């Protein structure tokens, strides 16, 4: 995720939690696109399978914890 969207996303999550939605979580995948070789990026800087694999590695333990796996 582009860092420019993080604040708005965090604010949306905070708003939903304050409205009583306890199953909403902020998941920062920004580190998955840091220091990625430009040759591995797709159009408009979207991640390739390499970036998606990094994002999955970040997300997996957080999702497991949230879902009680």
Residue 51's nearest CA partner among 23, 69, 32 is 32
Q: What is the pLDDT of residue 31?
A: 76
For residues 59, 63, 66 and 69, what is the CA-based torsion angle, rounded to 10 degrees? -140
For the chain, what is the domain count?
1
In this predicted model, what pLDDT tens digit does every residue of 4-56 receive, in sequence order? Answer: 788 999 999 999 999 999 989 998 887 777 776 766 666 766 777 887 888 89
Q: What is the pLDDT of residue 64?
A: 94
**Residue span of the structural domain in which 37 resides:** 3-67
Token output for 37: 């070789």
Contacts of residue 32, defined as CB under 8 A and 6 or more positions apart, other chains included, come to 47, 51, 52, 54, 55, 57, 58
pLDDT band for position 2 (cuts 50, 70, 90): low
């Amino acid at each position: 995720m582009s860092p420019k969207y993080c604040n708005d996303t965090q604010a949306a999550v905070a708003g939903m939690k304050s409205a009583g939605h306890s199953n909403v979580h902020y998941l920062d995948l920004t580190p998955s696109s840091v220091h990625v070789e430009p040759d591995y990026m797709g159009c408009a800087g979207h991640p390739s399978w390499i970036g998606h694999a990094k994002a999955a590695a970040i997300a997996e333990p957080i999702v497991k914890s949230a879902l009680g796996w």
